[in-house]
Amino acid sequence: MPSLKREALVALVTAVVISGIWLATTRQVRKPQNSSSAIPRREDGKPDFSGIWQANNGANWDLLTHGPRPMVGQSGVYSDVPVLAAPVVALGAIGWVPPDLGVVEGDEIPYQPWAAKRKQENLANWLDRDPEIGCFKPGVPRAMYMPYKFQIIQGTMKVLMVFEYAGAERTIHLDQVAPYPVDAYMGHAVGHWEGDTLVTDVSSFTSETWLDRSGDFHSDALHVVERYTPITRDAFRYEATIEDKNVFTRPWKISMPIYRRLEPNAQLMEFRCQEMAEETLLGHLRKNQLVKQWEGRTMRVEVTRTVPPGNAVYERHFSGNPPTRQ
């Protein structure tokens, strides 16, 4: 009988120990999703940013904190209270820019005095000047927070980014490469690792891109340093320090999370928008006007083309981004 009691006691102790080990193992396996082990990594131990991503904020409308405003406005009954202007009046509530908090550190863009005036002029002439409307390549950093998906394909020495908007793409070189022979819309990016953060140095820009839909601009002296830091397996923090001695008084920084698209069939769709912008940019060249009016239940919107003088009649884009580096 005593031996049976001893065997029962041993069995009980063994069961308790096994249960404790199982519980401890279970706790280890079920680590929080924001732990470092939840971050996908490559064989060399570096974070793997491969996947389809999208920003979820209002930065493409305005990098700074902003309230609701018309996409295109004009003075209403009161001079300081704008209403929707003719080009978008039929859009109603859809024609307003949604409010959002800014992504700029300190919520201020340090323009030189002349450039601050130019930014306001760009905003007032948004429909004529924003390169996004004409389907031009978005540039950096704007491509990262436009309201379109993008895909990262990460290799050992190259990181390729493909953007849904306008079929834009860029390569971050992790190896030594020769500088680009000409300026480019998406710039020339060289990267390196600082721990788990991918740091890129981007230069060789054209002056033909904007930073948002609010007229924020730069010159071809733009220099951007980006930082990609994983937060969880499904989000990373994107930071960009922006420097342009021709336009700003000092470097300034933006920061935001960017999220993985989690649909099982997530993929980039084609949005090659050149033909979508053809009538907007070149419709004034038609012998017989194509778009003349639109009539709805409560209004009729008339379209009258104006023809720019001289060679400007053939220009696809009016730059709001002086000066050009000599």
Q: How confident is the model at residue 310 (pLDDT cuts 50, 70, 90)?
A: confident
Dist CA 124 CA 76 (whole Å): 16
32 vs 61, more confident:
61
- From the list 268, 236, 47, the residue with the least C-alpha distance to 162 is 268
Map tokens 């020339």 to a residue: 188
pLDDT, one tens digit per residue, over 200-209 is 999 999 999 9
Dist CA 104 CA 173 (whole Å): 27
Dist CA 192 CA 228 (whole Å): 11
- From the list 207, 242, 226, 202, the residue with the least C-alpha distance to 122 is 207
pLDDT, one tens digit per residue, over 204-238 is 999 999 999 999 999 999 999 999 999 999 999 99
Dist CA 224 CA 190 (whole Å): 11
Dist CA 57 CA 180 (whole Å): 32
Q: In the chain, which ranges are continuous DSSP H helix?
A: 2-29, 113-124, 126-129, 278-282
pLDDT, one tens digit per residue, over 48-86 is 999 999 999 999 999 999 999 999 998 888 888 889 898
Q: Which pair of structure tokens corresponds to residue 13?
A: 């102790």
pLDDT, average across residues 164-179: 94
This prediction has a pTM of 0.85
